[in-house]
Amino acid sequence: MLKTSEESQGVADMAGAITVEQTEIPGLLVVRMPVHADDRGWFKENWQREKMLAAGVPDFAPVQNNVSYNHKRGVVRGMHTEPWDKFVAISDGRIYGAWVDLREGPSFGATVHFEMGPETAVYVPRGVSNGYQCLTDNVTYTYLVTEHWRPNQGYPALDLADPTVAIPWPIPLAESILSEKDRANPALGDVVPMPPKRTLILGGDGQLGRALAAALPEAEAVGREVLDISDTAALEAWPWQQYGTVINAAAFTDVDGAESLAGRRQAWEVNAAAPATLARLSRSLGFTLVHVSTDYVFDGDLDGEHQEDALMAPLGVYAQTKAAGDLAVSTAPRHYLIRTSWVVGDGRNFVRTMASLAERGVSPTVVDDQRGRLTFADELARAITHLVASGAPYGLYNVTNAGPVVSWFDVARRVFELSGRPADDVSPTSTAEYSAGKDMAPRPHNSAMSLERIRSTGFEPEDAWAALERYCG
């Protein structure tokens, strides 16, 4: 519990840097800031994004600034539990502030209270109830918020005099000035805890979508029949304010079909236009956007592994639409852009095709000059879950299974072995020979991607051969 000492009261000048203090309520931060004074008055940087981010304040992207003016000493407002983040500061006067955690979880009911003036600000996360008592006349209380205020929007509140949290208001509440509404707020035992914002999985009926739904059972997974992301009007109308994280696992993945007129249009709608809309919504509403991309954004004309900063050089229409989607998603302040390759999950995929051929006694010919790594959908889901849950730095990450870089021919031989067929029943061919006379989109010859950045976050990808053995078993 934080308390302001006598020495800090009435501070007129602080020459030091901005500092941030953690509190007993997770995510509730106290910000100490310099106040520069002279005979004219004082000046402070009430919100300085670069400095405050460096000090540890989240990049919370406020959209509205509110000011509450209070005439008299003893005015009390609260305890209000808004469903958005706030950055609270004082422009004039002094207050006694109080905060109570009303979020679901082990910290429910945790309390922090202390005196503050212009030299102090507080970052209040969504679901933490806040209130204050004016200790002087003419108090100006300002706050930045991450969502626009809407009339008649209800949210939880808490009895200012609740004995369970026992806030030691300096001025007795019986002698204070407060609204009738605030006098009728419920006791802590009657408060319904505020749940966290939900996670939405788009493309929930695909290979990755099903793996994500299994890894995140509390998330809401929707398929195209519920929300078709190529329908801009439907995207705009969706209740995005309910979600803290949106994972876009939907895509037009018919690489060859994208070369047709109808397929080209659908690929651009799903792979480029829809991510651009999601990125814009993420910017305006503040949710974290996770978007899954592909090795096809590269032409594969590279020795070694592609780093995250490798330049894109898409070859076909599908690849071009995915590259456009990547550029759009990168404009969202809170984004994880996941580049992956050779996905294998619950659905139609290369490994299942090879296993079926092995079972039916077919001996296929498979290209041996396209190289990369398999990515199992459950491993990709595990990586996405890790990035979001760990709060890893936003940005672009390569994610595949680990192990040696191999060819499709190598994978097919291993699947045949695991299916009880001799590996030599698979014959090699080149991409040029395989595609001769076929209407096929170009493929990158090198799909290998460096995994060092995802490893730097504490995630160790599983070896692809070990995962393949389990999948085929």
Q: What's the token pair of residue 132?
A: 């204050």
Report helix, strand or coil for 262.
helix
- Mean pLDDT along residues 245-270: 95
CA 246 and chain centroid, separation: 7
Give residue-wise pLDDT tens across range 211-237.
999 999 999 999 999 999 999 999 999
pLDDT(31) > 80: yes
pLDDT of residue 315: 94
457 in Cβ contact with 330 (< 8 Å)? no
Whether 143 sits among the annotated catalytic residues: the reply is yes
- Mean pLDDT along residues 412-437: 96
Handedness of CA 354, 358, 364, 369 (dihedral sign): positive
Whether 155 sits among the annotated catalytic residues: the reply is no
- Mean pLDDT along residues 305-326: 96
Q: What's the token pair of residue 251?
A: 């895509």
pLDDT(416) > 60: yes
Closest of 32, 198, 30 to residue 125, by C-alpha = 30
pLDDT of residue 3: 40
pLDDT band of 16, cuts 50, 70, 90: confident
How many whole angstroms separate alpha carbon 115 and alpha carbon 20? 16
Looking only at the bridges linking them, the beta strands covering 375-376 and 343-344 are parallel
> How confident is the prediction for the chain on average, in pLDDT?
93
| Equal fold, 6-190 vs 198-472 | no
pLDDT(76) > 80: yes
Query: Which CATH number is associated with domain 6-190?
Result: 2.60.120.10
Report helix, strand or coil for 390.
helix
pLDDT band of 149, cuts 50, 70, 90: confident
pLDDT(146) > 90: no
pLDDT band of 151, cuts 50, 70, 90: confident
DSSP label of 295: G
Return the ∠ at Cα 80 (arms to 79 and 86), rounded to 5°: 120
pLDDT(288) > 90: yes
Please state, in angstroms and as integers, the Cα–Cα distance from residue 207 to each residue in 177, 275, 318, following that order. Answer: 59, 19, 18
171 in Cβ contact with 133 (< 8 Å)? yes
pLDDT of residue 92: 94
Query: Which is the catalytic residue, given 80, 155, 386, 394?
Result: 80
How many whole angstroms separate alpha carbon 400 and alpha carbon 339? 8
Looking at the whole model, is its pTM more than 0.75? Answer: yes
pLDDT of residue 14: 44
How many whole angstroms separate alpha carbon 145 and alpha carbon 387? 26
pLDDT of residue 237: 92
Closest of 153, 109, 127, 116 to residue 32, by C-alpha = 116
Upper half-sphere CA count for residue 2 (Cβ side, 13 Å): 25
How many whole angstroms separate alpha carbon 84 and alpha carbon 60? 10
Give residue-wise pLDDT tens across range 325-364.
999 999 999 999 999 999 999 989 999 999 999 999 999 9
Low-confidence winner among 16-25, 93-102, 380-389 (lowest mean pLDDT): 16-25
**Phi and psi of 13, rounded to 5°?**
-150, 130
How many whole angstroms separate alpha carbon 219 and alpha carbon 247? 10
Low-confidence winner among 2-6, 136-140, 153-157 (lowest mean pLDDT): 2-6
265 in Cβ contact with 230 (< 8 Å)? no
Query: Which is the catalytic residue, given 96, 132, 141, 143?
Result: 143
3-state helix, strand, coil in the chain (%, to 5): 30, 25, 45
How many whole angstroms separate alpha carbon 220 and alpha carbon 413? 38
Helix orientation angle between 317-329 and 274-285, rounded to the nearest 10 degrees: 10
Domains in the chain: boundaries = 6-190, 198-472
As its CATH architecture, domain 198-472 has 3-Layer(aba) Sandwich (3.40)
pLDDT of residue 8: 38
Give me Rg for the CA atoms of the chain.
Answer: 28
